[in-house]
Amino acid sequence: MIALKKELTYLRKNKSLFLISLPALLFVFVFSYLPMFGAVLAFKDFNYAKGIWGSDWAGLDNFKFFFTSQDALRVTRNTLVLNALFIIIGLAASVLFGILLAELGRKAVRVFQTVLFFPYFLSWVVVGYLTYILLNPTYGAVNKLLEWLNISPVDWYSDPKYWPVILVLTYLWKNVGYTAIIFYTGLMSIDPSYYEAAAIDGASRFQQILRVSYPLIVPLVLLLFMLNVGKIFFSDFGLFYFVPRNAGALYATTDVIDTYVYRSLRVVGDIGMASAAGLYQSFVGLVLVLITNRIVKKIDSESALF
């Protein structure tokens, strides 16, 4: 009772802040928490006529469909490996660009900030068409350049070995700018007295970045790392579907859990199987966040999420 009174007192004192955050809280509640009731579909043999609760229970049969399929190992491997590359290379590139932005003058930052941030607002459909313009086997800009260099052109949409690199580069082009702005904002909040003290001690600009800038944004890097690890089993559907143009020849390296479930749902129409795959992804993501947070907590307890 006493704890409740304290919370209500705190709420009254900060009611303006809670009112500002109310739309975001409602959005998360409606689109993230309410749909959790649909997780029961993973254990149901869904029938449209009977509805969610009236449909017969299927036990773990929906999970068996995914785990016993011949494609399960391939799509799981692709999902983990490609998302791990996105996280590691993406965070490293974002930190680098964030630091470079912090070192530029304010006028230059406005220009580069806009250039870096613009691709983030493009849809994957548009990015897919831009990629096709570059990689078109006949008229693509890349193959024209290869011909000019007397190198045989490549049929990019028939050879899967190139696509891990293509997907990583496409992901970086579209997303690094957004994350770099986050790190740039974090760097701008650092007290200038730290740099002044380092300069007095004779530290060069590079040493200031290495000994002051980076260590002070490590908690932010770890926070984003843990949040991304939690989504490592969730792939960006638009990237893996629209950029490779759903080419069957590329499934060996571009097919992930999300695209596999989408095709299965479109062809078979099995909602229970799709729900089971989604629940599997969420559960593994939760476990990975808990494990990562535990590791970070042992290394640096102040940088842990909880």
Residue 45, classed as helix, strand or coil, is: strand
Per residue in 278-305, pLDDT (tens digit) is: 888 888 878 887 887 787 777 777 766 6
Place of tokens 């980076």: 214
- The two tokens of residue 129 are 């068409």
CA triplet 141, 146, 150: central angle to 5 degrees? Answer: 145
- The two tokens of residue 16 are 């303006």
Poorest-confidence range of 13-17, 107-111, 171-175?
107-111
Predicted confidence band of residue 1 (pLDDT cuts 50, 70, 90)? low
List CB contacts of 272: < 8 A, sequence separation 6 or more. 41, 42, 43, 44, 45, 46, 58, 61, 62
Per residue in 119-129, pLDDT (tens digit) is: 898 999 999 99
Residues 138-149 have a mean pLDDT of: 89
Per residue in 221-265, pLDDT (tens digit) is: 888 888 888 788 888 899 999 999 988 889 999 999 888 888 878
